[in-house]
Amino acid sequence: MIPLTKSIVSILVVAAWVGGLAGDVAAQGRTKIRYALGDVISIDELPLLIAVERAKARSVDVEVTAFKSEEVATQAVINGQADVGQGTPYAALQKVTVPIRFFYQLSALQFFPVVAKDSYKGWKDLDGQEIAVQGRGSGTEAIMILAAKQHGIKYKSVSYVPGSQVRRLALMKGNIKATILDATNKNLVLKEAPDKFIVLPLGEVKASDEALFATREFLDKNQAGIRVFLEELVKVNRAINANPKWVLDERKKLGLLKDLPAKMEGEILPFFQEAVENGVFPNDGGLESAAKNDLEFYSLSGALKGDNLKVEDFWHLAPLKAALANVK
């Protein structure tokens, strides 16, 4: 991912709501959502940024803060410093006593293990070697751990390097030789050095890459505001799935990611085309299928512990179902 600033990124969106839920919002007062993002903001955050902008006329104040890692962002939610978190910190949330629940699948996993060709030819060659992933408890770590189990290997060590773009640059410089990248940075690696790197094969992976989570208390107290936010997220995903080029038009119209490096401009459409082809953006926010797939995947990878895990112990789907009922 491409960092747009070296410091914390804050985007404060203040809007007046017009629409069918005016009575609910009036009863609750204005809703402020302190949104914790555990990564730098880049092109894969465009659906989120567009949804936030499109909610400007709907009485919801969304403050997006990009923290240095998913772990820090998760702790912000646990400690009450943020209201909504983004990520898949199943292991962390299983350990806390605070009733925190996932309530929306922002995107499904789409990552690619990339290795230096002169060092590794396949998964077996990674036995006893070092790898780099996004963060502790992240989807990237889960994928690599599960792959190790499937291929009967064990890594020497796992380094946590937030930012797919950061890992790509380290790979290109030779500082790391095996990592996992998002589609954009995978494509850049293969474009810039096609003879130096290979992508290792993965089986079909069905799980959340980015999901939204919050305390039950916040979700219950801010039902109208959360509903509005989810409606916009769903509508954005549906527009992208109908026509990936829509992202380019909306980005231009809303003036988003103005500091994006020039070399990344041409990667936006291919990224969203590939994502749509692979079903990355759910039209329905995931619902029960996303929750069940997550429990299976993160249990197999070792992030979740225990048997007979129940969806209701990790997910609260009522806000999403309420939002879907209002989306035409």
- Which residue is associated with the tokens 């095996």? 178
Whether 117 and 102 map to the same domain: the answer is: no
Residue 176 and residue 149 share a domain:
yes
Contact 51, 229 (CB under 8 A): yes
Residue 298 lies in a domain: yes
Question: Is 48's pLDDT higher than 50?
Answer: yes
Please report, for residues 125, 132, 134, the alpha-carbon distance to residue 174 in angstroms, rounded to integers and kept in the order given: 17, 12, 18
What whole-number distance in Å separates Cα of residue 291 and Cα of residue 289?
Answer: 5
Residue after which a domain boundary falls, among 199, 227, 258: 199
Answer yes or no: is 3 within a domain. no
In a domain, 301, yes or no: yes
- Do residue 88 and residue 50 come from a single domain? yes
Residue 161 confidence (pLDDT) above 50 = yes
What are 69-99's pLDDT values in tens digits?
889 999 999 999 999 999 999 999 999 988 9
Contact 56, 13 (CB under 8 A): yes
Q: What does the DSSP assignment read for 25-76? A: HHHH--EEEEEEESS---GGGHHHHHHHHHTTTTTEEEEEEE-SSHHHHHHH
Task: Report if residue 4 sits inside a domain.
Answer: no
**Which two tokens mark 310?**
């129940």
Q: How far apart are the first and last CA of the chain?
A: 33
Output the pLDDT for position 55: 82
Assess whether 98 and 216 both reside in one domain.
yes
Q: Is residue 319 part of a domain?
A: yes
Q: CA-CA distances (angstroms) from residue 258 to 2, 134, 275?
A: 12, 25, 22
Q: Is 214 left (phi over 0), alpha (psi -120 to 50) or beta?
A: beta
- Indicate if 160 and 55 belong to the same structural domain: no
Residues 151 and 279 in one domain: no
Which amino acid is located at 131 in the chain? I
**C-alpha distance from residue 160 to each of 141, 150, 176, 185 (Å):** 9, 22, 12, 17
Strand partners, 181: 112
Alpha carbons 112 and 109: distance in angstroms, whole number: 10
Predicted pLDDT of residue 76: 96
CATH number at residue 259: 3.40.190.10
Residue 124 has pLDDT above 80, yes or no: yes
Contact 12, 60 (CB under 8 A): no
Cβ atoms of 84 and 258 closer than 8 Å: no
For residues 55-61, average pLDDT: 82
- Model confidence at 40, pLDDT cuts 50, 70, 90, reads confident
pLDDT at 44 over 60: yes
Structure-token match 């954005």, residue found: 236
Residue 29's pLDDT band, with cuts at 50, 70 and 90, is low
Instruction: Out of 156, 178, 199, pick the residue that ends a domain.
Output: 199
Question: Are 320 and 215 in the same domain?
Answer: yes
Are residues 223 and 101 both part of a single domain?
A: yes
Partnered with residue 115 across adjacent β-strands are 178, 198
Domain of 181 in residue numbering reads as 111-199
Residues 167 and 241 occupy one common structural domain: no
- Which residues lie below 8 Å from residue 259, measured CB to CB, with a gap of 6+? 4, 5
